[in-house]
Amino acid sequence: MKITFLGTSSGKTSLKRYHSSILFSLEKYNLLIDAGDGISRTLINNRINFNSINGILFTHLHPDHFSGLPALIVQIKMMNRNKPLEIFIHKSLVEVVEYFIIHSYLLPEKMGFEINYKGFNDDERFNITEKFLFIAKKNSHLHNLEKYQNKYSSLSLYCASFLFESDSKKIIYTSDIGAEEDLLLFSEIVPDLFISEVTHISPLILLEKIKSIKPDMTYLTHYADEDIPALSEIMANLPNALKEKVILAVDNISFDF
Residues that bind Zn ion (CB under 5 A): 11, 62, 64, 176
Q: How far is the CB of 29 from Zn ion (least distance, A)?
A: 25
Q: How far is the CB of 116 from Zn ion (least distance, A)?
A: 25
Nearer to Zn ion, 62 or 90 (CB): 62
Quick one: three-class SS letters along the chain? CEEEEEECECCCCCCCCCECEEEEECCCCEEEECCCCCHHHHHHHCCCCHHHCCEEECCCCCHHHHCCHHHHHHHHHHCCCCCCEEEEEEHHHHHHHHHHHHCCCCCHHHHCCCEEEEEECCCCEEEEECCEEEEEEECCCCHHHHHHCCCCCCCCCCCEEEEEEECCEEEEECCCCCCHHHHHCCCCCCCCEEEEECCCCCHHHHHHHHHHHCCCEEEEECCCHHHHHHHHHHHHCCCHHHCCCEEECCCCEEEEC
Distance CA(254)–CA(247), nearest Å, equals: 12
Distance CA(222)–CA(220), nearest Å, equals: 7
Nearer to Zn ion, 1 or 93 (CB): 93
Nearer to Zn ion, 166 or 174 (CB): 174
Nearer to Zn ion, 37 or 64 (CB): 64
- Chain center to CA of 171: 12
Check: CB of residue 221 under 8 Å from CB of residue 195: yes
Q: How far is the CB of 236 from Zn ion (least distance, A)?
A: 26
Q: How far is the CB of 39 from Zn ion (least distance, A)?
A: 13
Nearer to Zn ion, 101 or 198 (CB): 198
Q: How far is the CB of 141 from Zn ion (least distance, A)?
A: 6
Nearer to Zn ion, 132 or 173 (CB): 173
Q: How far is the CB of 136 from Zn ion (least distance, A)?
A: 15
Q: How far is the CB of 250 from Zn ion (least distance, A)?
A: 17
Nearer to Zn ion, 21 or 25 (CB): 21
